[in-house]
Amino acid sequence: MTPRIFIDGEAGTTGLQIRARLEGRTDLDLLSIDLARRKDPEARRELLNSAEVAILCLHDDVAREAVAMIENPATRVLDASSAHRTAEGWAYGFPELTRQSRDEIRAARLVSNPGCYATGAIALLRPLTNAGLLPPDFPLSVQGFSGYSGGGRALVDAHEGRGEHPMAGPFKSYALSLTHKHQPEMARHGGLTQPPLFTPHVGGWRQGMLVQIPLHLGPLGVTAARLHEALADHYAGERFVRVRPFEGGQPADPILDPQILNGTNELELFVYASPGGEHALLVSRLDNLGKGASGAAVQNLDVMLGLEGAGHSYGVPEGV
């Protein structure tokens, strides 16, 4: 039977992008809620309990409530919120992260979709901590640069002339309390014993992001070439994660535009080195709504259902 899928929060930023990516899929039966009843607990309860997979595109508190509404043991959950990313009993939905990740996601009833900045950071960190090139307690800084859709409906509306928001504008630094909800996730799934110092920034473009990790190589006792080799080895053969060539002093990609991967489910990783080899910069580029949210969610849905081999792109189809 065709698996029934319900997107709770289908009218929000992440939900709409998931719907766009599922457009034209005949191997899934997409259940939809009457728009007028989309916040009605009874209407949602019914759909949540009749789906094979419920995808939650809700803010954390509403996502927790949705999980509590599910009584049907056959309903599996894919949560796009940050409510369960370090919770016990939840698989982490990053299929390329470790050799076991795909099997864990396929077997799980509860899967948490990664955060956007966290995806960029963890994709760089985990292969290096696993390979023993980055000690788990190494003091790290992570910098993020996101398009405004990362702020959800309220920030999108402010940017598109439908309200005001303190983070709207051409460029803002934020989370200057030096605490951000992605830090525990970066630590846990990046293989670190302490959260990195994380400084996010948001700008006046709609979507697309860069995540940067600067490294002093002296204390690490490793070369940038070795870090690149470990990343390239780990992601060899992966369709959605690409490690760009490393060319030492003459970078293959001398300028990075955060928007290049928009509409795709792709993630690109870069390693840069200073001419004397003292410093390295690790960078990831992704669409915060693609591999950072909705593309990843649809990929995870297919991994959960054993459909990944069908070769879908998990991008937004042309013209949608």
Ligand X SMILES: NC(=O)C1=CN([C@@H]2O[C@H](COP(=O)(O)OP(=O)(O)OC[C@H]3O[C@@H](n4cnc5c(N)ncnc54)[C@H](OP(=O)(O)O)[C@@H]3O)[C@@H](O)[C@H]2O)C=CC1
Ligand Y SMILES: CC(=O)N[C@@H](CCC(=O)OP(=O)(O)O)C(=O)O
The catalytic residue positions are: 116
To ligand Y, the closest distance from the beta carbon of 197 in angstroms equals 15
Residues 301, 55: contact at Cβ < 8 Å? Answer: yes
Q: Which is nearer to ligand X, 39 or 162 (CB)?
A: 39
Residues of this chain, 189-248, that bind ligand Y according to CB under 6 A: 200, 202
**Contact flag: residue 64 with ligand X (CB under 6 A):** no
Order of strands across the sheet with 141-147? 171-173, 197-203, 141-147, 209-216, 279-286, 267-273, 241-243
Helix (H, G, I), strand (E, B), or coil: what is residue 193? coil
Letters for 15-34 (x = contact with ligand X by CB under 6 A, - = none) are x-------------------
Give least dist CB 115 to ligand Y, A.
3
First-residue to last-residue Cα distance in the chain: 27
Judged by CB under 6 A, the residue of 12, 120, 292, 315 near ligand Y is 292
Q: Which two tokens stand for residue 132?
A: 């023993």
Q: Are 172 and 223 in contact (CB under 8 A)?
A: no
**Residue 7 interacts with ligand Y (CB under 6 A): yes or no:** no
Question: Are the CB atoms for 62 and 84 separated by under 8 Å?
Answer: no
9 binds, among ligand Y, ligand X, none (CB under 5 to 8 A by kind): ligand X
Q: Is 262 in the site for ligand X (CB under 6 A)?
A: no
Site for ligand Y in 257-276 (CB under 6 A): none
189-202 per-residue burial string, b: 16 or more CB within 10 A, e: under 16:
bbbbeebbebbbbb
Which of these segments, 59-67, 94-102, 278-286, 303-311, binds ligand X (CB under 6 A)? 59-67
Q: x/- string (CB under 6 A) for ligand Y, residues 146-175?
A: x---xx------------------------
Rounded (5°) CA angle 147-216-123: 45
CA distance linking residue 171 with residue 151, whole number of Å: 13
119-148 positions binding ligand X, by CB under 6 A: none
256 binds ligand X (CB under 6 A): no
Q: Which does 64 bind (CB under 5 to 8 A by kind): ligand Y, ligand X, none?
A: none
Three-class SS state of 3: coil
Residues contributing to the site for ligand Y (CB under 6 A): 82, 115-116, 146, 150-151, 181, 200, 202, 288, 292-293
